[in-house]
């Protein structure tokens, strides 16, 4: 099996740590990055020269370029770049502090932009490589009260990655968007700050805050997910999106079916907007929302 060099953001805990471990167990090398690289000491102690710990704040574009350069200088190449670093706070959009909303977006979208852009010249020159973007099932179906900034960023990551795939198609660069459901990480624990929730939003945002991080929502095993991602990336053909978790895949299929049904129901109206098409046409039956 081919040995690869990975660069993984947010390697100190959660999905990042599980994925780094899975890659190392597969015999690959890992540039493990974190804001505080001393948190990577256990990985270095266990896997030795297979790990290069690097300090990285993904919101700093210059530091992102330095991390990619460090990977190439140390290992001679980089094959797989994983944008995993991210976090979410819970707040209603109406009352969320704008500074916090923007700060989340800086990490969850602009961090992905910075690292992806830093990696592109290297992967283009190599004529090969894979960029793995961590989104979430919320980045596909959306609509979770309290996660306005996080889910908006994840939708942006998906759109950004689709454009990258089209632009770089001639260069041998592949893309995989990961869409996990609820997993047993500290994403909904120590990493999450629940803002003040007004009484008017208790039934929506407040309800999500109460169930976030419970055993019901965190059914996924991050170590299994890490192994699945490694196995997937090593395939000759990879999916564009990989949904992880039983609840997540059920949500994805239900959402896609609903989109197809809605587009089909309104197809005649959609067509009628073009020059040369019959107009006006009857709208679908106007039934009360369920």
Chain-centroid distance, C-alpha 76: 27
CA angle 214, 110, 242 (to 5 degrees): 55
Taking each helix axis from N to C end, the angle separating 14-25 and 222-233, rounded to the nearest 10 degrees, works out to: 50
Across 189-202, b (16+ Cβ under 10 Å) vs e yields eeebebbebeeebe
85 touches 36 (CB < 8 A): no
How far apart (Å, rounded) are the C-alpha atoms in residues 142 and 254? 13
How far apart (Å, rounded) are the C-alpha atoms in residues 161 and 120? 12
Q: Can you count the helices (H) and strands (E) in the chain?
A: 11, 7
Q: Give the active site residues.
A: 135, 150, 154
């Amino acid at each position: 099996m081919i040995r690869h060099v990975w660069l993984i953001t947010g390697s100190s805990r959660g999905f990042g740590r599980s994925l780094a471990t899975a890659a190392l167990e597969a015999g690959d090398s890992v540039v493990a990055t974190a804001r505080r690289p001393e948190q990577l000491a256990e990985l270095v102690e266990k896997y030795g020269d297979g790990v290069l710990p690097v300090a990285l704040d993904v919101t700093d574009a210059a530091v992102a370029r330095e991390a990619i350069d460090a990977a190439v200088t140390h290992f001679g190449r980089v094959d797989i770049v994983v944008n995993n670093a991210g976090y979410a706070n819970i707040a209603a959009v109406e009352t969320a502090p704008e500074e916090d909303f923007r700060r989340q977006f800086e990490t969850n979208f602009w961090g992905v932009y910075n690292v992806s852009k830093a990696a592109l010249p290297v992967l283009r020159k190599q004529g090969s490589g894979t960029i793995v973007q961590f989104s979430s099932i919320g980045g596909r179906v959306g609509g979770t009260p309290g996660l306005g900034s996080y889910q908006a960023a994840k939708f942006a990551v998906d759109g950004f990655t689709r454009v990258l795939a089209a632009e770089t198609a001639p260069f041998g660069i592949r893309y995989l968007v990961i869409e996990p459901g609820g997993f047993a990480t500290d994403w909904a624990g120590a990493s999450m700050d629940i803002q003040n929730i007004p009484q008017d939003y208790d039934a929506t945002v407040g309800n999500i805050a109460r169930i976030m991080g419970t055993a019901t929502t965190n059914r996924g095993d991050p170590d299994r997910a890490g192994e699945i991602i490694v196995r997937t990336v090593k395939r000759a053909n990879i999916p564009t999106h990989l949904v992880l978790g039983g609840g997540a895949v059920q949500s994805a299929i239900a959402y896609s079916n609903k989109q197809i049904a809605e587009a089909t129901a309104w197809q005649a109206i959609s067509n009628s907007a073009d020059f040369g098409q019959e107009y006006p046409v009857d709208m679908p039956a106007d039934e009360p929302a369920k």
